[in-house]
Structure formats: structure tokens, C-alpha cells
């Protein structure tokens, strides 16, 4: 908590629901500082909460108590609503209902309630029984991920329809404590995408932008890229852009019908299906909170006035950009290579624009 208002940077609260601060990890601290910068003076969005309102990265019961004790209203939805729609099972239910699950995956995604996993022996048997009904290509490699989780943390890998017995002894009860789990095939992904939205009072949806993600082999976030026009509108540049935007709005509308308010992100990806065809999975999960995508879009909008001229972003033109959480060294002679953060301290992140409609090249994978 910092500043004249109540700002609760509980990054990673999916794993630490009682926490009001980020964990003592460099990346979490960095994200928290970027989030506080997002909410600072001169913010890029007219909907950001002012100092009279308490705000958190993720609304939890602990956050609600802190806001109540401070005598401040809390920005966004009640914690109970957030928990309901932030659950990966919610996004899967919406995708199934809206016909947004690819045909090859319709019988290959299984949701487990917490009680089914509390006992490692019976939970393992239930898992193997469910995965055993999948086609051979799907059960060859699969993952079991917590229904409440972030950045790929807490996932358990399986192969040939099973999880090693010693591994499941600790993993399944731990997943039960995270609202249960979702089992799905481990897919050969070709592209990761996200759509950022705002659910406004009354249930209307504002599309903030769509982005392409750079992640490593384990799904750990490394950056966002996309295209921006002269008015600050951002798109991913993917051939799947319209499809993921439409799907994301459907999920956000479903969340709004449950009482959700505030920013959110819908993740998607394309993958090689069992026949080798590139296939889109337009709904993977709903992040019912602020996200790194929200931050990336904000930084692009904040920088636009400075870079519009050097980048030659005239009406009708698009320019690529890349946002990196791993800032690296910027080029002080390049007005399109920006270090983000207060002057005189190590940068929090890096934002680079192109002079064309191709994003700057990604950093080499570690």
C-alpha cells in the first residue's frame, strides 16, 4: 500500500489470497511498481480510479477488509464475483456454451472440483479415468493447471494419460486448495494472444486493445507486441485478431452478467491440431483483474505523443511496438527505444517502436 490513496499491489494473489503486497520476487516487485505507475498522475485511461477510491491488482476478501478499514470504496467488483469469474472453469463454460472450443478439444478438457483432488489416491484415479477417455494424441502429453492461478504457476505435467504417483501425492491436494484444476492437452502453440477489456457500470464492454504475447516454453511472460495507429488504437497484428476480439467480448459480457466490473483480459492461442492444421483456441482463461496487458497498452498510449512524429505515425498508418518486462539496455540515440520508469533509477521495462508495421524483433529466448 502506498501513496495518498489505498493502492494494494497484491500481484500473485491467486497463490497468496491473504497478501496485500507482492511476493519478494524481483518480477513481482517490478510488476507492482509498473501497476502503481499505471494508476499514477497523468494515467492513460479516463476510467482509472482516483485517490478517493481504494484499488487492488486483484480484488480478494483481504483487499475488501483493508478498504473497509480505511473507509474507502473499492474499485471494481466484489471479491466473491471476482473469484467466480476468475476461475478458469468459468471461461471454459462460457467458451463451451458459445461454441468457442475447437472441435479437436471439445472432449479433451476436464474440470475437477476441489473435493475430487483432496485425496491423492482417489484424485489420481479420477484424473487417469478422465484423461483415459481422450484420444491418444491428447493424452500423450497433458497438463493439470490450477483453476485459480497466474503465469503458469502450479501446473503439473502428465504423460501417457497419467501423472507420476510420487508427484501427485503433493500436487493434487495443492491443486485442491487452489479451487481445483483443469486438465487439458499440452499443445504445440504457434501464437499467444490476449485481449484487454473494461466492463463498465451497467455491463457495457469497452475494448481496450488486443496484443500478441511473447512467452517462454513454460508459458512464463516475457513481453507484448502489437500495432498502434495514430489515435492510439492497438491490435495484435495476428490473422486471428478479429476472432479473438469477438470471443473476448463474449466472455466479458458473461462476466458482466455475473456482476463483474473493471479491467480484465482474455487469453487465447493458436496451435497445431492433431492433423497439423493451425487452429485457434480463442478462449483459454479470463483474468478478472488488472494485467500486464493493461500496463502495456497504457505505456503505449502514454508514449504516443512523444513517438508519433519520429515513428511517422500519420492517420491511416500502423507502427509496430514491443513491450518488454525484461528492460535490457535502451539506445539513448533512438527516440523510439524507451526506458520506462522514473529518471535516475534502473528502468522498470522497455518499450520500443518501429518505423514500419512490423514489431521490433523479440529478445533472444533464455
Q: Are residues 203 and 328 part of one domain?
A: yes
Q: What pTM was estimated for this model as a whole? A: 0.94
- Taking alpha carbons only, the member of 296, 85, 88 closest to residue 199 is 85
- Residue-wise pLDDT for 272-330, tens only, equals 999 999 999 999 999 999 999 999 999 999 999 999 999 999 999 999 999 998 777 78
Are residues 55 and 194 both part of a single domain? Answer: no
In this structure, the number of other CB atoms found within 10 A of the CB of residue 223 comes to 23
* pLDDT on residue 159: 94
- pLDDT value of residue 120: 86
Cβ 287 vs Cβ 150: under 8 Å: yes
Let me know whether 336 and 211 are in one domain: yes
Given pLDDT bands bounded at 50, 70 and 90, which one contains residue 2?
very low
Q: Is the pLDDT of residue 109 over 90?
A: yes
Of 75, 95, 123, the residue that ends a domain is 75
- pLDDT of res. 3: 45
Distance CA 193, CA 243 (A): 11
Mean pLDDT of 189-209: 97
Task: Please check whether residues 135 and 176 belong to one and the same domain.
Answer: yes
CA dist list (Å): 65 to 12, 61, 82, 341, 355:
18, 6, 15, 31, 48
- Asked whether residue 121 is assigned to any structural domain, the reply reads yes
Whole-angstrom Cα distance, residue 72 to residue 6? 8
Distance CA 33, CA 56 (A): 13
Rounded CA-CA distance 296/214 in Å is: 13
- Return d(Cα 301, Cα 199) in angstroms, integer: 20
| Rounded CA separation 348/10 (Å) | 18
Are 238 and 349 found together in one domain?
A: yes
Same-domain status, 309 and 260: yes
pLDDT of 1: 41
* Average pLDDT for 323-345: 85
Cell digits of residue 357: 508495421
Q: Which of 135, 162, 186 is the last residue of a domain?
A: 186
Please check whether residues 264 and 139 belong to one and the same domain.
no
- Assigned C-alpha cell, 41: 498522475
325, three cell numbers: 518486462
Q: Which domain holds residue 240?
A: 189-353
pLDDT tens-digit readout, 214-270: 887 666 788 999 999 999 999 999 999 999 999 999 999 999 999 999 999 999 999
CA–CA distances in Å: residue 75 to residues 50, 89, 331: 9, 25, 38
Q: What is the CATH number of the domain that holds 289?
A: 3.30.470
CA 109 to chain centroid: 20
Taking phi over 0 as left and psi of -120 to 50 as alpha, with beta for the rest, 204 belongs to beta
Pairing of strands 278-287, 318-324: unpaired
93 part of a folded domain: no
Instruction: Give the pLDDT band of residue 342 (cuts 50, 70, 90).
Output: confident
Count of beta carbons in the 10 Å neighbourhood of residue 229: 17
> Does some domain include residue 2?
no
Instruction: Tell which residue, 162, 129, 126, 125, has the closest CA to residue 143.
Output: 162
Same domain, 330 and 277: yes
Element (H, E) at 118: none
What CATH number has the domain bearing residue 170?
3.30.1490.20
Is there a single domain that holds both residue 16 and residue 37?
yes
Instruction: Give the pLDDT confidence of 76-108 residue by residue, as tens digits.
Output: 999 999 999 999 999 999 999 999 999 999 999
Distance between CA atoms of residues 153 and 135, nearest Å: 27
Grid cell, residue 17, equals 489470497
Range with lowest mean pLDDT among 36-45, 131-140, 353-362: 36-45
Taking the C-alpha atoms of residue 176 and residue 122, their distance in angstroms, rounded to an integer, is 13
- Answer with the one of 75, 99, 126 that is the final residue of a domain: 75
Q: State the pLDDT confidence band at 331, using cuts at 50, 70 and 90.
A: confident
The residue count for the chain: 366
For residues 244 and 210, what is the distance between their CA atoms, to the nearest angstrom? 8
Place of cell 485457434: 280
Domains contained in the chain, number: 3
304 within a domain of the structure (yes/no): yes
251 contacts 95 by C-beta, under 8 angstroms: yes
94, part of any domain: no
Task: State the DSSP code for 202.
Answer: T
Q: Which residue has the cell 535516475?
A: 344
Note whether 317 and 258 are same-domain residues: yes
Grid coordinates representing 80? 466473491
C-alpha span between 278 and 136 (Å, rounded):
19
CA dist 43 and 129 (Å) reads: 51
Chain centroid offset of residue 113 CA: 22
**Do 29 and 64 reside in the same domain of the chain?**
yes
Q: Are residues 250 and 264 in the same domain?
A: yes
Q: What are phi and psi of 210, to 5 degrees?
A: -125, 150
In a domain, 245, yes or no: yes
Amino acid at each position: 500500500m502506498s501513496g495518498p490513496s489505498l493502492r494494494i499491489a497484491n500481484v500473485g494473489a491467486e497463490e497468496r489470497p491473504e497478501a496485500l503486497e507482492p511476493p519478494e520476487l524481483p518480477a513481482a516487485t517490478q510488476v507492482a511498481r509498473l501497476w502503481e505507475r499505471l494508476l499514477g498522475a497523468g494515467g492513460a485511461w479516463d476510467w482509472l480510479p482516483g485517490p478517493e477510491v481504494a484499488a487492488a491488482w486483484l480484488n480478494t476478501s483481504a483487499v475488501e477488509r483493508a478498504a473497509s478499514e480505511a473507509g474507502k470504496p473499492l474499485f471494481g467488483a466484489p471479491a466473491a464475483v471476482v473469484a467466480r469469474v476468475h476461475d478458469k472453469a468459468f471461461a471454459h463454460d462460457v467458451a463451451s456454451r458459445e461454441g468457442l472450443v475447437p472441435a479437436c478439444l471439445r472432449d479433451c478438457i476436464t474440470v475437477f472440483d476441489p473435493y475430487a483432488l483432496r485425496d491423492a489416491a482417489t484424485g489420481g484415479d479420477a484424473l487417469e479415468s478422465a484423461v483415459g477417455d481422450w484420444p491418444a494424441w491428447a493424452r500423450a502429453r497433458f497438463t493439470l493447471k490450477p483453476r485459480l492461478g497466474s503465469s503458469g504457476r502450479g501446473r503439473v505435467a502428465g504423460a501417457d494419460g497419467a501423472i507420476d504417483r510420487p508427484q501427485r501425492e503433493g500436487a493434487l491436494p495443492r491443486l485442491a486448495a487452489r479451487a481445483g484444476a483443469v486438465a487439458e492437452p499440452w499443445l504445440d502453440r504457434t501464437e499467444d494472444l490476449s485481449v484487454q477489456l473494461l466492463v463498465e457500470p451497467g455491463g457495457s464492454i469497452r475494448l481496450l486493445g488486443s496484443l500478441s504475447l511473447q512467452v517462454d516454453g513454460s508459458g512464463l511472460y516475457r513481453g507484448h507486441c502489437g500495432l498502434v495507429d495514430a489515435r492510439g488504437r492497438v491490435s495484435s497484428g495476428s490473422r486471428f485478431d478479429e476472432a479473438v476480439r469477438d470471443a473476448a467480448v463474449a466472455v466479458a459480457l458473461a462476466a458482466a452478467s455475473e456482476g463483474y466490473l473493471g479491467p480484465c483480459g482474455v487469453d487465447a492461442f493458436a496451435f497445431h491440431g492433431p492433423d497439423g492444421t493451425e487452429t485457434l483456441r480463442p478462449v483459454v482463461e479470463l483474468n478478472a483483474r488488472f494485467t500486464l496487458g493493461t500496463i502495456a497498452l497504457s505505456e503505449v498510449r502514454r508514449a504516443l505523443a512523444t513517438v508519433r512524429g519520429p515513428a511517422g505515425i500519420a492517420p491511416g498508418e500502423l507502427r509496430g511496438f514491443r513491450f518488454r518486462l525484461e528492460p535490457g539496455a535502451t539506445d539513448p540515440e533512438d527516440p523510439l527505444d524507451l526506458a520506462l520508469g522514473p529518471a535516475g533509477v534502473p528502468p522498470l521495462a522497455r518499450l520500443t517502436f518501429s518505423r514500419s508495421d512490423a514489431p521490433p524483433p523479440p529478445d533472444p529466448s533464455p
